Amino acid sequence: MVDSVTTRLSTADFDGGSPTEHRHATWLELFYDLVYVVAIAVLAHQLSDDVSIQGLAVFVGLFIPVWWSWAGYTIFSTRFGEDDNFQRGMILLQMLASAAMAVQLPQAFGSGSAGFAVAYVATRATLIVLYFRAREQYPEANRLTAFLLAGYTAGASLWLISIWLDAPLRYIFWAVGIFIEFATFILARKVARQFPVHTVHLPERVGLFTIIVLGESILAIIMGVGDVNWNPLAVVAAFTGFAIVTSIWWNYFGYVDRAVLECSLGNGQAYMFMHLPMLLGLIAMRVGIGHIIEDSNHAIFPPETIWLLGGGLALWIAAFYSLQLITYPPREGPRLTATYGIALATITPPLLMAGSLHPIGLAVLFGVVSVVITVFEVQRRSGILTGVYSEKENTGRPGKRRGPKEYRGTHVIVLFDPVVCTHSAVCLTRLPKVFNLRNRPWISADGATAEAVISTVEHCPSGALTYRQSGDSTLSS
């Protein structure tokens, strides 16, 4: 029963295609993200206007519920997504609620706090309705939906009660409500493990949110150079900011593109939560980059500027390293630790002395570190699949052409040619019990029925996978 519902949930497709096809973001999901473009822009400008400790605390306190409102629906859609009129209506209602949150952000810890709380409760209400519906549609997942419904309802109730409370008790209720929702999500991990997230859809959705934040950084660079008189320092600052943003983009999306091939997302909890500090770091960098460009015409640079840029980069490095350490196979751990450990060790001492060093020079150092990390990561990832596919037969000597490797089962023999493979990951998403890069060997021909194995092999777009019946010399494709 669990196996059947796992297949249904993890392969649910908004696009109405075969449940075993790749699932990608829909137009409605992209439309939904537009609300958060506005929210991120408002939060970034608020932090830019107040880079004090208090301003940073306000920014973090507001970013978490905004991000969590988006994350709650995203996790839901990777398991229970249905492209019907009811769910579309719920998503549009959540968009309105999220837009109301964005409107209230400038005064969310002041005169607009009640409105912000009402808007957040509305985002939770639509999600609760969707989970109640999923409970009826997928009775096999009742334990998971009941657990999440209890947590989301309890958290939203505290936010609702806070409307009638005065500060600071109102904000304490907010924090406790968010904590309950986080804790519920984490405590549900054992049940959620039976219903894995979609290995293509989740990285893509989180990646789209990340690209929104990176886009804000590009906007900060463009607006910054447009507001200053051109001088050598301004040019260096702008190019340095661009180098940091583009290297992070290259490194991060290189990971996302290959996550389905190389990584284990499991129930998606670690993947989602590790993005919270990553995104906070990106926005801090965005503000730091903007201030460095704007202050390039001044003789004195506020130390907060470099702390935001360097501290944001350090937070990004630490969180991205942790994300990869959790999701990559253990054998990648030493190289990851060496690369990101050296990077953190390089930027930390200058960051601590930011008040006595020139900000432009420090920014250039941070840019160099970011680019070097990306270069090393691209090289590391390029060798992962070769070692996995060829296993112990890999000699590391290029140019030696080997024939397809056989993976024998009782009723069917699967043949795989790594030279032909285009890494589409169709086999991994269609039949993970047979095709799993974390196992040795990575193909277990007896992991499913012969019919299921043959069907998956026949869907291989590159022809790298072929098969023959055991005892039969005829090769089919």
| pTM score of the predicted model | 0.81
Q: Give me the pLDDT at residue 299, please.
A: 57
Question: Which helix H or strand E contains 452, and what residues bound it?
Answer: helix 450-458
Which pLDDT value is given to residue 301?
Answer: 66
β-partners of residue 466 are: 415
Place of tokens 């777009």: 461
Per-residue pLDDT of the chain (477 residues), as tens digits, is: 333 344 344 333 333 233 334 556 788 888 899 999 999 999 999 998 998 889 999 999 999 999 999 998 888 888 887 777 888 899 999 999 999 999 999 999 999 999 999 999 999 999 999 999 988 888 888 888 898 999 999 999 999 999 999 989 999 999 999 999 999 988 887 777 777 677 778 888 999 999 999 998 898 888 877 766 677 888 888 899 999 999 999 999 999 887 777 777 777 788 899 999 999 999 999 998 888 888 776 656 677 788 888 999 999 999 999 999 988 888 888 999 999 999 999 998 888 876 667 778 888 999 999 999 999 998 888 766 655 555 444 444 444 546 688 888 888 989 888 777 766 677 877 787 788 776 778 888 888 888 888 888 888 888 888 888 876 444 444
Q: What are phi and psi of 461, to 5 degrees?
A: -70, -25
Domain 402-469 matching CATH 3.30.70.20: the answer reads: yes
Give the pLDDT of residue 297.
67
Domain boundaries, the chain: 1-198, 199-382, 402-469
Say how many CA atoms lie within 13 Å of 220 toward its Cβ: 34
The pLDDT score that the predictor gives to residue 4 is 39
Strands (E), 349-464: 405-408, 412-416
- Cα separation of 375 and 338, whole Å? 14
End-to-end alpha-carbon separation of the chain, Å? 32
pLDDT of residue 294: 80
241 φ, ψ (degrees, to nearest 5): -60, -40
Residue (of 61, 75, 68, 83) closest to 120 by Cα position: 68
